[in-house]
């Protein structure tokens, strides 16, 4: 089973790139973030015609998450459990065959410190609680998405210049580590080690051309999923295409 995550930065604006990538990569499950449209505006027909079932949690112009699956989607959970007063559409989960998948668009948190950073840390606290609850099921779990966290200095092209950014601040990294330390495996780092493995390049200042990237998109696996992990990677070439998202897909393969 191939499971991928991609912040598409507007599913309608990137639809040609999305359908192109789906046809090439053929993921069994695709977790999309920043869809930036209400459910009724989502290009459902185009993606269903490609063989995907959909679970959507969208809002107008901002945020938005979606799960695309070649298999039936069961027990769909809209929104982050335990955080019912969150008005932003950032979390959705469902079961695909025997795997529970969660699609996550974690808050950016800038400027930090400040209210947006406090919201980021609060959101991460609720995510940690949800991960802990799901791990009790002892089932294969995949928590994929745009975490807006560079876990280590190896995950950012200029560690010194980014150390005060919400994506790299020690408070953010500490909570991320606490979530991983519940028993999760960073799928990509099992196959790609060292610096220079990025999933995001800003549109500004020629970041893509200079390879000024960040690794902020992650697939975190429960022990039952990690035991079946056979491969993982980044579809870097997608960033160089016309009208590309500023993120690229990250994926893993599980042997079932």
Residue matched to tokens 């696996």 = 221
Closest CA to 125 of 106, 100, 148: 106
Nearest one of 192, 256, 179, 249 to 221, comparing CA atoms: 179
Residue 168 to residue 200: CA distance in whole angstroms: 14
Q: Which domains does the chain have, with CATH numbers?
A: 2-254 (3.60.10.10)
Mean of pLDDT values over 102-125: 98
Nearest CA to 93 out of 143, 127, 50, 48 is that of: 143
Instruction: Give the model's pLDDT for residue 156.
Output: 98
| pLDDT attached to residue 131 | 98
Across the chain, what does the average pLDDT equal? 98
Reduced to 3 states, what is the DSSP secondary structure of residue 90? coil
pTM: 0.98
Percent of the chain with pLDDT over 90: 99
Whole-number pLDDT of residue 64: 98
Token pair for residue 21? 């990538």
pLDDT mean over 44-49: 98
Q: Residue 10 has what pLDDT?
A: 98
pLDDT in tens, 199-236: 999 999 999 999 999 999 999 999 999 999 999 999 99
pLDDT at 61: 96
What is the per-residue pLDDT across 160-192, written as a single tens digit (0 to 9) for each?
999 999 999 999 999 999 999 999 999 999 999
pLDDT at 51: 98
pLDDT at 88: 98
DSSP 136-185: TT-S-EEEEEE-----SGGGBS-HHHHTTSTTT-HHHHHHHHHHHTTT-E
């Amino acid at each position: 089973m191939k499971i991928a995550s991609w912040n598409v930065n507007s599913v309608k604006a990137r639809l040609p790139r999305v359908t192109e990538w789906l046809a090439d990569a053929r993921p069994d499950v695709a977790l999309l973030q920043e869809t930036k449209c209400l459910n009724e505006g989502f290009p459902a027909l185009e993606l269903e015609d490609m063989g995907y079932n959909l679970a959507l949690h969208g809002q107008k112009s901002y945020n938005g998450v979606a799960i695309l699956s070649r298999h039936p989607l069961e027990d769909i959970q809209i929104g982050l459990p335990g955080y019912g007063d969150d008005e932003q559409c950032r979390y959705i989960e469902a079961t695909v065959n025997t795997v529970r998948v969660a699609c996550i668009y974690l808050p950016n948190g800038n400027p930090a410190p400040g209210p947006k950073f406090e919201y980021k840390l609060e959101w991460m606290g609720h995510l940690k609680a949800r991960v802990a609850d799901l791990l009790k099921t002892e089932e294969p779990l995949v928590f994929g998405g745009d975490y807006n966290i560079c876990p280590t200095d190896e995950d950012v092209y200029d560690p010194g210049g980014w150390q005060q950014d919400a994506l790299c601040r020690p408070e953010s990294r500490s909570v991320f580590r606490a979530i991983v330390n519940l028993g999760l495996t960073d799928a990509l780092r099992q196959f790609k080690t060292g610096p220079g493995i990025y999933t995001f390049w800003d549109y500004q200042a020629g970041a893509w051309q200079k390879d000024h990237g960040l690794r902020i998109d992650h697939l975190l696996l429960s022990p039952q999923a990690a035991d079946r992990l056979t491969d993982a990677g980044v579809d870097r070439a997608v960033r160089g295409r016309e009208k590309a998202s500023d993120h690229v897909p990250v994926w893993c393969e599980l042997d079932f």
